Structure 1
C-alpha cells in the first residue's frame, strides 16, 4: 500500500469520526437539558480555553497564537468570528433543548450552499450555471418549509447564516483552525466566566436550571463540552490535509444527516410533509452541487497533469 493511499485512508477515518461526533452532538446536549442553554454555551467556552492552550503547548504552537493576537486586523476578525460562533452555539443548544433538532439539521444542510453564495457576493468567486440551479432548488425547499413550519424556520436560517458568516470570516482571516478557535474562545473567556459566576451565585437553580456543583454527572458533561468541541475539530483539521477537497465537501453533509436521523428516530420529532419535501429538495440540491464540484475539480486536475 502506497504511503499516499494510506494517508488518505487515515484521513477518511479521521473525517468520519469528526462528522459522527458532530452528528451525535444533539444526544450530548439533550443530557444537559436541565441546564440553561446560555449556561451550557458558557461552560463550553470557558473550559475549552485551558484545553486548547494545552493542545497548542503540546504542538509547540503558542507562538502562532501570540502572533495572531498581536495583529490588530486579525484581532478584529477573531472578535467577529467569536461573536458568530457564540451565537451559533447558543441557537443550536437552545434548539436541541426545545426539541427542534430537525430545524437545526436543516440549518447545517443550507449552510454550505449559503457559503457558496457568500463567496460569490463577497469574494467574487464564480458559480457555474449548475451551481446556480442547485441554489435555486435549495431555495425552493426552504420556501416549501416556510409555508408550514414558519415558527421554526428562523432556527434553520439563523444557524445557516451564523455558520456561513463564521466560515467567511475565517476564510478571510489568515489563521489556523486550532489557533483561531483558541483566540475566539480566549476573547469570550472573561465575559462568559463572569456570566457563570453571576448565574451560580445570584440565580437560584429552581429558576434557571442546574448549575456546576449541583450534580456530579452534569458537572462532567459541562466540563466535557470542551472535549467534544476540540476533538472533532482536531480530527477534521488533520483530515483536510490528507484528503481531497471534493471528498471533504461530501463528508460535510454527513453530520447534519446524522442529526436529522437522531431527531426523527431517537427523539421522535414530527416529520411533516413540508419537512419531507424540503429535505428532499435540499438533498437533490446538494447532490447536484457536489457532483458539479467533483467534476470541475477532476477536470482541473487533469489539465494540470497534462
Structure 2
C-alpha cells in the first residue's frame, strides 16, 4: 500500500473515530471539561513516556529540549490542542454537538487558507470550487442555526492553530 493510500486510510479511520467520540463524551457530561482534559493530558504523558522508553528514544527526547524554537512550537501546539479539546468537550457535554461538528467541518477551510497564505501553497480550480461549495454549506448552516457559529469557529481556529504549529515541528510525532 502506498503512503498516500495509507494516509487516506488513517485519515478516514481518525474521522470515523472522532465522529463516534460524542457518544463517549456524553457519558461524562457530569464531569467538567477541564477535569476530562486534565486526565487526558496526564495519562497521555505517562503512556507516551513509557512508550518512548520502550522504543529507546530517550536520547532523541533529550535532544529536543536543546532547541528553543522546537520547544516554542511544541508549547504552542499543546496550548492550541488543549484549547481545542476544552471547547470540543464543553460543547458535546452541553448538548451542542452540532456546533462542535460544524467546527470540524470549518477546520479544513481554515487549513486551506493557512496553506495558501502562510505556506504559499497554490490551489487548482477544482479545489477552489470545492472551497466555495463548502463555504456556502457553512453559511447555509449558520443561516439555519440563526446565529454566527462562534463556538464552531473556536473549535476550527484552535485546531488550525494546532495544525500550523505541528507543521513547524520537525521531530518524530511520538516525541
TM-score band (shorter)? 0.7 to 0.9
Query: In 2, are the aligned partners of 1:115 and 1:164 still within 8 Å (CA)?
Result: yes
Residue 17 of structure 1 deviates from its aligned partner by: 4.8
- The DSSP-based 3-state class of the residue aligned with 2:25 is helix
1:127 match: 123
- 1:116-154 alpha-carbon deviations (Å, 9 max, x no partner): 110110011111122222222222222222224255711
The 3 A distance-change label for structure 1 pair 8 and 139 is: closer
C-alpha distance in 2, partners of 1:28/1:173?
Answer: 31
Residue 96 of structure 2 corresponds to residue 100 of structure 1: yes
Q: 1:136 to 1:82 in 2, by over 3 A?
A: same
Aligned to 1:66: 62
* Structure-2 residue corresponding to 1:91: 87
Matched-pair contact (CA < 8 Å) for 1:87–1:162: yes
1:31 maps to: 27
Change (3 A) 1:16 1:57: farther
Q: Cα 1:62–1:124, aligned 2, differ >3 Å: closer, same or farther?
A: same
- Matched with 1:146 is 142
Aligned Cα RMSD in Å?
2.4
More contact order relative to length (CA 8 Å, sep ≥ 6):
1
SS of alignment partner, residue 70 of structure 1:
coil
Q: Is the CA contact (8 Å cut-off) linking 1:91 and 1:155 kept in structure 2?
A: yes
Corresponding residue for residue 155 of structure 2: 159
CA distance in structure 2 between the partners assigned to 1:46 and 1:175 by the alignment: 21
What are the residue-to-residue correspondences of 1:186-205 with 2, within 5 Å?
none
2:120 pairs with 1:112: no
Which of residues 137, 141, 158 in structure 1 aligns to 2:133?
137
Q: Take 1:134 and 1:14, find their aligned partners in 2: how far apart are those partners?
A: 22
Pair 1:163–1:11, CA change in 2 (3 A): closer
Q: Secondary structure at the match of 2:121?
A: coil
Distance 1:138 1:84 in 2: 24
Larger radius of gyration: 1
Q: What is the TM-score normalised by the length of structure 2?
A: 0.87
Q: Distance in 1 between matches of 2:158 and 2:81?
A: 7
1:145 and 1:83 mapped to 2: Cα distance? 29
Q: 1:98 to 1:90 in 2, by over 3 A?
A: same
Check the 8 A contact 1:100/1:152 in 2, yes or no: no
Equivalent-residue separation in structure 1 for 2:5 and 2:154 (angstroms): 35
Gaps of 5+ in 1: 180-306
Structure 1 length-normalised TM: 0.52
1:74-116 CA distances to partner (integer Å, 9 max, x unpaired)? 0111111111000000000001101111221221122123211
